[in-house]
C-alpha cells in the first residue's frame, strides 16, 4: 500500500512539474498573435464591449479553438471568443462541451468539461474548465484567429 501511495504522489509531482513548465517560443508567439488579434478595436456599430454572460438563445454553436479559447457563434455575424480563466488540460478542437447552466445562460466563472458519449454514458475527456468574459469579434478576426492557431500546429 505504501508503494501505491508513493507512486500516486510521484505522479502528482510530475504533473505539477509539467503544468508549471514555461511556454515554448512557438506557444509564446501564438499567444502574442492571438492577443494582438483580440486587441483590435471593433467599429462602435458592430458590437458592445465584452460581456459577462450569454443567453443560450444568443448563440447557436460552440467551437474549441485551443485549450485557452472557445468560440461562441450567434445569429447573423455575431461571434464571441471566450478566453478561459486558465489553460484547460485535455481540451481539444472538436470536443463536445458540457456546461453547468443556470438560468439558461453561460457566464464568466461558469465551469464546463469536454465529454465524449459512448452508448448512454458520458466520459469526461478534459479537466474542469472555467469561462472568462465573452469578447465580441468580427468574422475577419475569427478567420485570423483560426489561421494563427493553424500556423502554430
What pLDDT, on the 0 to 100 scale, is given for residue 7? 39
Provide the grid cell at 143: 478567420
The parts of the chain modelled with pLDDT lower than 70 are: 1-23, 30, 33, 36-48, 117-122, 152-153
E strands, the chain, are: 53-55, 59-66, 69-74, 79-83, 96-99, 105-107, 111-118, 121-124, 129-130, 134-137
User: How far apart, in whole angstroms, are the C-alpha atoms of residue 51 and residue 61?
Assistant: 17
Residues 6 or more apart whose Cβ sits within 8 Å of residue 27: 152
What pLDDT, on the 0 to 100 scale, is given for residue 10? 40
Whole-model pTM: value is 0.68
Longest dimension (CA), the chain: 65
CB 70 within 8 A of CB 82: yes
What pLDDT, on the 0 to 100 scale, is given for residue 20? 46
From residue 53, give the alpha-carbon distance in Å to each of 106, 118, 124, 135, 148: 6, 31, 25, 10, 26
Amino acid at each position: 500500500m505504501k508503494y501505491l501511495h508513493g507512486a500516486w504522489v510521484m505522479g502528482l509531482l510530475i504533473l505539477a512539474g509539467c503544468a508549471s513548465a514555461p511556454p515554448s517560443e512557438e506557444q509564446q508567439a501564438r499567444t502574442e498573435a492571438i492577443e494582438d488579434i483580440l486587441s483590435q478595436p471593433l467599429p462602435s456599430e458592430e458590437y458592445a464591449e465584452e460581456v459577462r454572460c450569454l443567453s443560450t438563445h444568443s448563440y447557436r454553436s460552440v467551437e474549441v479553438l485551443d485549450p485557452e479559447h472557445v468560440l461562441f457563434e450567434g445569429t447573423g455575424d455575431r461571434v464571441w471568443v471566450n478566453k478561459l480563466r486558465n489553460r484547460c488540460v485535455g481540451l481539444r478542437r472538436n470536443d463536445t462541451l458540457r456546461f453547468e447552466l443556470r438560468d439558461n445562460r453561460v457566464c464568466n466563472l461558469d465551469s464546463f468539461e469536454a465529454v465524449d458519449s459512448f452508448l448512454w454514458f458520458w466520459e469526461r475527456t478534459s479537466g474542469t474548465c472555467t469561462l472568462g468574459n465573452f469578447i465580441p469579434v468580427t468574422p475577419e478576426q475569427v478567420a485570423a484567429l483560426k489561421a494563427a492557431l493553424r500556423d502554430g500546429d
